[in-house]
Amino acid sequence: MGEMKAFVKVRPEPGGAEYLDWDVPNIGAGDVLIRVKAAGLCGTDMHLYEWPDNIVREYKPKLPVVMGHEFAGIVAEVGPEVKTVKAGDRVMVNPLLYCEECYFCKDGRQNICDNRPLLGLGADGAFAEFISVRSSNVHRLDDAVPFEVGALSELTCVGLHAIERARLTGGDTVAVVGAGPLGFIMAVLSLHSGAVRVFVTGLKTDRERLQLAGKIGAIPIIVEAEDPREQILEYTGGLGADVVFETAGAPSGVTQSLNLVRKGGRVGILGQGHEATEIPTAMLSFREIELVGTRAYTPREWQRVSAMLLNAQHDLSQTITRRLPLGKAEEGIKLMKGREGLKVMLLPEDEVR
Ligand SMILES: [Zn+2]
Ligand SMILES: [Zn+2]
């Protein structure tokens, strides 16, 4: 096939990524060729770009690799065996290429599959004009949902999975620790899943992000300015939050989460910090707190995400604070590193200045 533009991690070193001419991917009999219409930059992309030791160890990227895994687009072509979508369909994609064979896949827990390369890391990703994906990972995107909200489907599935893992129930009070894109999405989804009150905690440097959280109906708390525990106890008659989502991935975030949750409450750990955290396990016992690890999503969340995208699209779209053409992916990564705004969305060259 022909050539296209792509943002590719080429060399195993910090930076080492380039905007290049690249072959349009071939499609196998069961694959779908998708023209990418919107692709979100995510922490994982930033890590792949910066190339710290733990990334190389944990993610095992295969270079050279086209980066990017959060996206939506239009089907350009399908292999002869594909029956579920056709050329011209609007689609979103589960970027986790779980093996379908291992114990966990067969148990419906594809998120913790033994062999689960991620698009943009273990296989060519979405920071390109085209991407080829196996059809079982491709899902229809509702006509009423814009492509850039479709590109938030992956993060939304992460959130839906966490909400199920932490058993959020109608009427719950929720605290979200961390005001980054994942924290923001957790606030949106909690409010759309029946939480009556959602607090979001962040640092002084997150002021702009916390303001956005306030705009969608959450209660922002700057931890240097006010004690989140006092505030939440006051709102809950001294009880604490029913559910806490830790999204910061920092030891202090875990400690804060345990301080905010009520007796008998649940703490969902989403943040993937690389530093160990000391936890007073006696407190877990005395207060009967459940600490729940939660990772990625299963096909079940992809079945359910359409309705959430449709209902919550206005709030979800607030996550997108910057739009750049694909050719400026590197600039986007630098913006992310500076914790400016929330999500950077990469769009086709001719659709944004
Ligand atoms: Zn991501
Ligand atoms: Zn598997």
Domain architecture of the chain: domains with CATH: 3-152+319-351 (3.90.180.10), 157-293 (3.40.50.720)
Tokens for 203, please give them.
């640092």
Picking from 211, 150, 217, the residue whose alpha carbon sits closest to that of residue 179 is: 211
pLDDT at residue 275, as a whole number: 83
Q: Using the mean position of ligand 2's atoms as its centre, give its distance from the Cα of residue 98 in Å.
A: 5
**Tokens 């006051």 -> residue:** 234
**Tokens 């705004």 -> residue:** 341
Q: Are strands 173-177 and 219-222 parallel, antiparallel or unpaired?
A: unpaired
Q: Which ligand is nearest to the CA of 185?
A: 1
pLDDT at residue 353, as a whole number: 63
CA distance 86 to 264: 49
Q: Which ligand is nearest to the CA of 117?
A: 2
Print burial letters for 242-268: b (CB count within 10 Å at least 16), e (below 16). bbbbbbbbbeebbbbbbbbbbeebbbb
Q: Using the mean position of ligand 1's atoms as its centre, give its distance from the Cα of residue 319 in Å.
A: 13
Q: Which of 44, 173, 294, 298 is catalytic?
A: 44
Alpha carbon dihedral 142, 39, 128, 42, in 10-degree steps, equals -140
Q: Which ligand is nearest to the CA of 108?
A: 2
Q: Which of 47, 139, 161, 192 is catalytic?
A: 47
204 Cβ partners below 8 Å, 6+ apart? 222, 224, 225
Print burial letters for 292-306: b (CB count within 10 Å at least 16), e (below 16). eebebbbbbbbeebb
pLDDT at residue 273, as a whole number: 72
Q: Are strands 173-177 and 241-246 parallel, antiparallel or unpaired?
A: parallel
Q: Using the mean position of ligand 2's atoms as its centre, give its distance from the Cα of residue 100 in Å.
A: 5
Q: Which ligand is nearest to the CA of 69?
A: 1
Q: Using the mean position of ligand 1's atoms as its centre, give its distance from the Cα of residue 239 in Å.
A: 34
Structural contact between residues 77 and 28, judged by C-beta atoms closer than 8 angstroms: no
pLDDT at residue 338, as a whole number: 84
Q: Which ligand is nearest to the CA of 104?
A: 2
CA distance 43 to 49: 10
Tokens for 213, please give them.
């959280």
Print burial letters for 18-37: b (CB count within 10 Å at least 16), e (below 16). eeeebebbebeeebbbbbbb
276 Cβ partners below 8 Å, 6+ apart? 251
Q: Using the mean position of ligand 1's atoms as its centre, give its distance from the Cα of residue 20 in Å.
A: 22
pLDDT at residue 297, as a whole number: 98
Active site residue 69: no
Q: Using the mean position of ligand 1's atoms as its centre, give its distance from the Cα of residue 69 in Å.
A: 6
What are the pLDDT tens digits along the chain (353 aa)? 699 999 999 999 999 999 999 999 999 999 999 999 999 999 999 999 999 887 778 788 989 999 999 999 999 999 999 999 999 999 999 999 999 999 999 999 999 999 999 999 999 999 999 999 999 999 999 999 999 999 999 999 999 999 999 999 999 999 999 999 999 999 999 999 999 999 999 999 999 999 999 999 999 999 999 999 999 999 999 999 999 999 998 899 999 999 999 999 999 999 887 788 899 999 999 999 999 999 999 999 999 999 999 999 999 999 999 999 999 999 999 998 888 789 999 999 988 86
CA distance 17 to 122: 15
pLDDT at residue 55, as a whole number: 75
Model confidence, pTM? 0.96
Q: Using the mean position of ligand 2's atoms as its centre, give its distance from the Cα of residue 101 in Å.
A: 5
Structural contact between residues 126 and 68, judged by C-beta atoms closer than 8 angstroms: yes
Q: Using the mean position of ligand 2's atoms as its centre, give its distance from the Cα of residue 109 in Å.
A: 8
Phi, psi of 142 (to 5 degrees): -55, 140
Instruction: Provide the β-strand partners of residue 200.
Output: 176, 220
Which residue type sits at 26?
Answer: N
Q: Using the mean position of ligand 1's atoms as its centre, give its distance from the Cα of residue 42 in Å.
A: 5
Q: 119 in helix, strand or coil?
A: strand
Active site residue 281: no
